[in-house]
Chains A and B, each alone.
Chain A
Amino acid sequence: MTIPPPVPPRDPQAAAAAAARFAAAAPADVRYAELDTPVGRVVAVMTRRGLVRLDYEDWFGGLDAVLEDTAEKLSPRILRGGAGLDPVARELDEYFEGRRRAFDIPIDWTLVPPFGRRVLQATAKIPYGEVATYGEVATRAGSPGGARATGNALGANPIPIIVPCHRVVRAGGVLGGYTGGVERKQRLLAVERGERALFG
């Protein structure tokens, strides 16, 4: 018998199991999952209302950067995993396999200011496989002549792929920019043309 009593032995497995039991049931404000897609790893972030952001992990500077930004803008009560994220993974898989043309996941627009919301909701109505110009989307969002502001709102889209800002291009057939890099925009448009073999 030792005095003073020694620190109890490390038991990382028991501690991890207890933490996993906690995380499975705890009332987090925000839950997240890292998902691998043909256009790279994304971080899906859900609130109780719905999907609030979907970040290209490399583009945003890594998982920690996404979570720290989320903690600051929404809530620090963030936990990994949760059943609410399963449909996100499933619908993305189906989309990239060419079996899904529209997403059913509820969206939480909290991170999008009012003008951006009108732009992104107009964007969400562009049919699968089609494109519209920045000017057209500006008009549909009720702001004809606001092509530049529309471009900014699209660049700030927190939920790419699912809110299909990749379907908005510049007039004259030029692709225009994309959060996540223009190569991803090309790939997403290729998926919607049925060119899956390009990166099977």
Chain B
Amino acid sequence: MPLPPFQRFLDEQRDPVWRFLVASVGRDAADDCFQETFLAAMQAYPRLRHGEHLRAWVLTIAHRKAIDHHRARRRAAVPVGATPDVATVEPQVADEETWRRVRDLPPRQRGVLLLRYAGDLPHRDVAAALGCSEEASRQAAREGLRRLRHEIGERS
């Protein structure tokens, strides 16, 4: 498949990227990360040789932008209890809560769960995005899910 004109790429990928970023960094920061993701994608775009796996490619970029965002936020050293995310969620509160817990997991588990479930990528593509083996990706997903169940079980 030849590389589509960027406008078509944007039209086709804006929805999955937006959902991935809402899960990844929260609604408030999603727009900044979205802009940075597509800007980076546009800069690299002419170097792509074909139009295969574009969703995995752009979600990999989005994942890196989300990591940058989390790093910057940690540097800013906002007290955890004061993050605006907590105060602004209304619909799907329970699910938002789950995603917020995902964000606090160790990096590998967090990356795998976000790309696998919010990005809906198969483990093959998740592994490629994170630079690990497919088995390591599955393993991290199992550990992450176990940890989530444990934490949530403890609370309720």
Once A5-B102, A5-B113 are accepted as A-B contacts, the answer to whether A14 and B18 lie under 8 Å apart by CB is yes
User: In terms of DSSP, what is the predominant structure of the interface of chain B?
Assistant: helix
Once A26-B38, A79-B10 are accepted as A-B contacts, the answer to whether A1 and B95 lie under 8 Å apart by CB is yes
Contacts from B to A (Cβ < 8 Å): 2-8, 10-11, 14-15, 17-20, 22-23, 30-31, 34-35, 38-39, 42, 45-46, 91-92, 94-95, 97-99, 102, 113, 116-118, 120, 145, 148-149, 152
Asked whether, in the complex, the Cβ of B118 is within 8 Å of the Cβ of A18, the reply is no
With A and B bound together, what is the CA distance between A137 and B134 in angstroms? 66
12 chain-A/chain-B pairs, Cβ below 8 angstroms: A2-B94, A3-B145, A3-B149, A5-B23, A5-B117, A8-B19, A10-B19, A14-B30, A22-B35, A27-B42, A67-B7, A68-B2
Once A18-B34, A21-B35 are accepted as A-B contacts, the answer to whether A8 and B23 lie under 8 Å apart by CB is yes
Q: Using CB atoms, name the residue of chain B closest to A6.
A: B95
With A and B bound together, what is the CA distance between A10 and B22 in angstroms? 10
With A and B bound together, what is the CA distance between A10 and B102 in angstroms? 19
Closest-CB distance, A49 to chain B (whole angstroms): 18
A83 CB within 8 Å of chain B: no
Contacts of A10 in B (CB 8 A): 15, 19
